[in-house]
Amino acid sequence: RDALAVDGVVAQAAALHESGVRVRTLLQFYEEWLGKLPVGELERASLFFDISEVHQVRYARFKRMVDLGVGLVGLVALAIAIPVVWVLDLVANRGPLWYRQERVGRGGETFSILKFRTMAPGPAPAEGTEWTAQDDPRVTPFGRILRASHLDELPQMVNIVRGDLSVVGPRPEQPRYVRQLSATLPFYGMRHLVRPGLTGWAQVKYGYAGDEEDSMEKLQYEFFYLRHQSVRFDLRVIGRTVRSVAGTEGKGR
């Protein structure tokens, strides 16, 4: 009976398709309308092959050229910003200018991400402690300005030129969060099949993730990007990031 019902639905869908009606499955509708993939409906093998198909040599080379171009221009901007931030940091922050933190990149390899320091100096949170809050009280007043203007991210141009980061990709997480999320979220390690990014589809669509529930939502957007990544999609993400930084477009929650 179930098979007959399915056959009937397929027959109706085929008739609609032949008459010019655009027919989509619920999964396709979810993906196209919301711009994310439901993790519970995915299979590891199918997602892997979907990602592999878009890793064409031409696209990979073009993406690396874009990364180098943006990274080199960003290094010029960084050289201009360093003296200004250094002077203001001496007055307002009174601590180290730079902040390095270990992150997980492509293939699960770790690297040190570079930022302008925005928090008061102190030890890093211990393994198993709560997630870092977006309004963390350790952030200094000058650090809030750096974060609001996204200038704290500018030193990551060094990571882009070195090849640790791409301009667009899933944001790299700290190893402690990766261990935690890999144990609770399905297929979480698949996001490490590609180079992480300075910005990404999950960032422009969802924003900050402060717990596992948020991370699950962001993971669905990341999988959508992994399946559909292309030059056009990368340019779309970059454009939305620029508008967000300029304040003309807010991040969706």
State the average pLDDT for the chain.
82
pLDDT in tens, 59-84: 888 999 999 999 999 999 999 999 99
Report whether pLDDT(42) > 60: yes
Q: Pick 126 or 147 by higher pLDDT.
A: 147
The predicted pLDDT at position 90 comes to 86
155 residue type, one letter: P
- Work out the angle between the directed axes of helices 231-246 and 57-92 (0-180°, nearest 10): 20
For residue 43, give both structure tokens.
């299979």
- State what percent of residues in the chain have pLDDT above 90: 45
User: Highest-confidence range of 121-130, 152-161, 189-198, by mean pLDDT?
Assistant: 152-161
Strand partners, 168: 199
The CA-CA-CA angle for residues 43, 192, 202, to 5°, reads 80
Sorted by where each begins, the domain ranges of the chain are 1-34, 42-246
Average pLDDT in the 189-210 region?
A: 90
Overall pTM surpassing 0.75 (yes/no): yes
Q: Residue 25: helix, strand or coil by DSSP?
A: coil
| Pairing status of strand 197-199 against strand 166-168 | parallel
